[in-house]
A and B are shown apart, each in its own frame.
Chain A
Amino acid sequence: MNRKKLQKLTDTLTKNCKHFNKFEVQCLINLFYNMVGDVTERQGMVTGLDRNAFRNILHMTFGMTDDMIMDRVFRGFDKDNDGCVNVSEWISGLSVFLRGTLEEKMKYCFEVFDLNGDGFISKEEMFHMLKNSLLKQPSEEDPDEGIKDLVEITLKKMDHDHDGKLSFSDYEQAVREETLLLEAFGPCLPDPKSEMEFEAQVFKDPNEFNDI
């Protein structure tokens, strides 16, 4: 990719992104192309991180472990649903992921948790996501009982309109009351420690790019 194009790309992406400055966008673009590999751009071919590569990043860099959540995070990044995260999706995704405001994060998390994308988090979806959250106790007759109960507790706490599922406004209200509920159904944002490490690593060495 030539320098001029890169410059143009950086400028456009910086314009569209409110949480990163030009230098940071530049760093992230570099990181992106480092990871994608030096694929020469071919017409009609999509350049980007596919599901596995992206999940690998989530796992290695941000310490996420839940496969399902990671899939959902990938979908959250992959706005155009073409199966891979391209450079602009990468930048805008990370912008929320790392620096998003509470509103942006809520929107993002809700999308992650809304498995079928129907605008509601249903009981089944919750159950699905919380499935592995409790240690199985051999003595219990019904191992799922605890999970079911947990779903009920969550609903009681968050379902303000009592329709048995969470709409975005239910979720939003609950999170505003208690920020801890932002990632109510599983970690889908980086924990602060790995976030800091990532930023420190990616945005280091400012002099190298200052002239670009």
Chain B
Amino acid sequence: MLKNFSGKGEQTVLESISYTSDYEFSNGCRAPPWRQIHGEICYVLVKPHDVETLCITCSAEGVFLNGGKTDNEGEINYERKGEIYKDLVTFLKEKSAKFSENMSKQEKRFSDKKEKKEPTNEPPEKEEAAPVQKAITGSGKRTLEKNQINFGKSQMTKRLEPSLRWKATVRFKEYRSLLRDPQEEKHRRRPERSGPPVKPGRAQLVRKSTEKIEEIVSESSSESEEDEEPLDRQEANADLPSEYWQIQKLVKYLKGGNQTATVIALCSMKDFNLAQETCQLAIRDVGGLEVLINLLDTDEVKCKIGSLKILKEISHNPQIRRNIVDLGGLPVMVNTLDSPHKSLKCLAAETIANVAKFRRARQAVRRYGGITKLVALLHCGKSSAELAQSSLYDARDVEVARCGALALWSCSKSYTNKEAIRKAGGIPLLARLLKTSHENMLIPVVGTLQECASEENYRAAIKAERIIENLVKNLNSENEQLQEHCAMAIYQCAEDKETRDLVRLHGGLKRLASLLDNTDNKERLAAVTGAIWKCSISKENVTKFREYKAIETLVGLLTDQPEEVLVNVVGALGECCQDYENRVLVRKCGGIPPLVNLLVGVNQALLVNVTKAVGACAVEPESMMIIDRLDGVRLLWSLLKNPHPEVKASAAWALCPCIQNTKDAGEMVRSFVGGLELVVNLLKSDNKEVLASVCAAITNIAKDQENLAVITDRGVVPLLSKLANTNNDKLRRHLAEAISHCCMWGRNRVAFGEYKAVAPLVHYLKSDDPNVHRATAQALYQLSEDADNCVTIHENGAVKRRKMENLFENCHLCQRKVETHLRCVARSARDGSGSAAGVMPHGLHRWKCSVCTVTRRGSKDASSQ
């Protein structure tokens, strides 16, 4: 405000000026709410040059000296000590001679430079200065104060209009901050200007004072805003809902009453519609939150109960939650959990459950030891659950445990809290609570488990505590929410094979399948289909699902469902279609067209699953015909351009069976303009899965000579060779296959040798994966037709001969292997480099390969070639 023209300098009017409090309420006032009702806006400490520091109250009536600020408590004595002045400037003029003198100087300068000032306005300031100018031009020769007030008024009316609508507080704030911004910009710019005053030349002085007055105007405008505000506020008051005033009154009684009055006020406050935002914000705006939280620190059980009952309700509001955390409400609530009163524990836990909906709050709960205490609440339910059987249980104990679970559910959304719950021994307790039959209890318990099941540790513990059994049992409940959370928990856990088996053993699959029939509750449907998806990773489960006619239902769900459901449905179908019967079933139910239609979507997870499902279907030639007819291959191919590597890989995998099972595959592949180039370029990816899938696709593409020629032209050989140095077995296998197929064209064999792909390939034989061996053997066989490659193979192979022998022990004789090496030996002998020539044939009798049974078809090919 006036701050900027205070300081030690001669030209300044004041030594210092500051607010007593930095906190500004949302209505722009700085006075505490209980003073605001007296029309007071803020308190200012002013130090003029000649008089002592003055503590001034700015209120609706005007400006007056108050009782001063006591140093030790920082409290202001609000009593009026002096006359009321119409504004701060008048007040100061009266109190300080120096101020008045300097002020008149400023004034003079202002009127002098007024003309100049307008053009000197910098463009960015124009907006902010516009009302000033208006006020100035409008007022002509009027005094500075008048200008200020005018300015203040024009801006204030503009500014305070939105505040008439309390319901729109949020919008109002935004609006305010918008208005504030230009001013802040000015504040930031100020330091540059107020450099040490060099001996001012005339022009400089002029400029400086102009700037200064500019600031006086803009700054004191805010000052007069303070003066004007109450007037507007009073008008605004009429528009505030009556609840606001009633709540304000009640908060006053809360503050000033003994426990009897407090309880009455709390009960009365509870009768307001606390679900309504007006009331929630009113409680906050009149300083009720502080009082309510303070009450929790007292010994009065009744006051605490009453306070928590209100906090519980209003904490549904996200803004209030944040305020509660800011005011330090969580530590007291966490402490309240220790209370011997069950109802208090319940309320505290329930309130925490509401408040801990955002990260900082969850963190705070943990930091104050809340997790351990909440877990301890579950103990209550434990004993009561046992008592329940002897029909002696106390409903309140169950309630305590329920509230505890509710709070844990909220807290369990963050990773560290999940860990904390586990460490506090929460899992066995949750498992025990899961055995009760109270639906209210089960929902938060299952909810917590479902949240936590995202962690590996929990999944192991869930298995160990035999929780799955109870989850399956609760799946049979009538409560849709409970079903949803159970299904969700199964979905999370069923990544694990044993869990999938458990779900089947406890008869959960049938229930899951039957839950598919009700499609109204989309969230539950998503959870159920998710559980089915994960469960169907096990073959046995798929068989069961077929028995329960789930496949047909799933196909029916392929249309008109939200994406969350579709992802799971398609995922489940993708798993199911690994079975021949199911592929036929899906085709017969007309599942292929909707699947192919989904290929045009944008959801990444969905695309991954759809491509997988389509790929699974394409294994069936008959289904492939349908896919081809629907142009599915082209759609798959275009997904290779998808930015997500997972989608790319999945699409490339899906293309493999498509190419295999189409009659004129070569012709079809060629018909995709730029398609082959796209595939070859994908070899530049750095994602292993993409590379492996593309290699597999290339293997299939290369079966067609013409296409092989095209991809060779596109530089497939150097790209493949570059990939050869890898440790990834999946990539090795598909890479070796791709290389062996690419050898069939032109001088590719030689080229692979030139690009140094051969030596790394030989080393693949050290891998433990028989599939890698098979593919590598095939590739080496192809490569060995070139003499130079033979030498390389031999050199690398001879060194590792012993190892290789060991590797292939206990296996059937591998034709391919033998041929390769015979060739190698022959050539190297011919080339004169066969140092091991005598050794090899001897060793050959023991060259055995673990995969020759698998390669049988390949061997036939080889012998025919």
Contacts and interface: CB of A to CB of B under 8 A. Distances in A.
Nearest to A132: B258
A134 B261 contact: yes
Given A133-B257, A150-B253, A192-B341, A184 B301 contact: no
Given A134-B256, A187-B259, A150 B301 contact: no
28 contacts: A130-B260, A130-B261, A130-B264, A133-B257, A133-B258, A134-B253, A134-B256, A134-B258, A134-B261, A135-B256, A137-B256, A146-B256, A149-B249, A149-B253, A150-B253, A150-B257, A150-B261, A150-B264, A154-B268, A157-B271, A178-B270, A180-B263, A180-B266, A183-B260, A184-B263, A185-B260, A186-B260, A193-B299
B261 A180 contact: no
A191 B257 contact: no
Interface in A139-192: 146, 149-150, 153-154, 156-157, 178, 180-181, 183-187, 191-192
B44 interface: no
B584 interface: no
A181 B260 contact: no
Contacts of A146: 252-253, 256
A181 B263 contact: yes
Nearest to B249: A149
Mostly, the B contact residues are: helix
B554 interface: no
A130 B257 CA distance: 10
B574 interface: no
Given A133-B257, A134-B253, A149-B249, 4 more contacts: A134-B261, A146-B252, A157-B264, A183-B260
Contacts of B260: 129-130, 133, 183-187
Contacts of A191: 301
Nearest to A136: B256
B136 interface: no
Given A130-B260, A135-B257, A146-B256, A153 B302 contact: no
A163 B261 CA distance: 22
A185 B325 CA distance: 33
Contacts of B263: 180-181, 183-184
A180 B258 contact: no
B40 to A, nearest CB: 12
A154 to B, nearest CB: 5
A134 B305 contact: no
Contacts of A184: 260, 263-264
B268 A157 contact: yes
A179 to B, nearest CB: 9
Given A137-B256, A180-B305, A180-B306, A157 B261 contact: no
In this complex, the member of B252, B261, B266, B270 whose beta carbon has the largest number of chain A beta carbons within 10 angstroms is B261
Contacts of B264: 130, 150, 153-154, 157, 181, 184
Contacts of B306: 180
Nearest to A196: B340
A187 B270 CA distance: 21
Nearest to B303: A180
A180 B267 CA distance: 8
Given A146-B256, A180-B305, A133 B261 contact: yes
A76 B721 CA distance: 100
B540 to A, nearest CB: 56
Contact of A134 (B257, B266, B301): B257
A135 B270 CA distance: 22
In this complex, the member of A132, A133, A157, A181 whose beta carbon has the largest number of chain B beta carbons within 10 angstroms is A133
B771 to A, nearest CB: 72
Interface string A118-132: 000000000001101
Nearest to B258: A133
B515 interface: no
Contacts of B256: 134-135, 137, 146
Contacts of A193: 299
